Amino acid sequence: MHFQHRGFGIECSVEVVGLDYVGQAVISRLATDEEQGKAFLSGSLRPFPTPSQAIGYARFWAEMWCDEQQNQ
């Protein structure tokens, strides 16, 4: 699933780990005149019993990460 947040693109995915679903997020920022485009990978996040919960958490995590980058 693809989302936009504060100038970042967020691509969330889910993988099955045992009986749980684990979300991941790839966060990207388009290139500007000052910076090259960049991508960041969340790695595996915490497990959930449903795919929608895992995606929701991955999106939440990624949005918090983006907010922190804006505050730096």
- pLDDT tens for the chain, 72 residues: list them: 899 998 899 999 999 999 999 999 999 987 666 666 789 999 999 999 999 999 999 999 999 999 998 887
Phi, psi of 36 (to 5 degrees): -75, 160
pLDDT of residue 29: 85
pLDDT of residue 70: 82
pLDDT of residue 61: 97
Helix then strand then coil, in percent of the chain rounded to 5, is: 30, 40, 30
Q: Please enumerate in sequence order all residues whose Cβ is within 8 A of that of 38, keeping only pairs 6 or more positions apart, or say none.
A: 28, 29
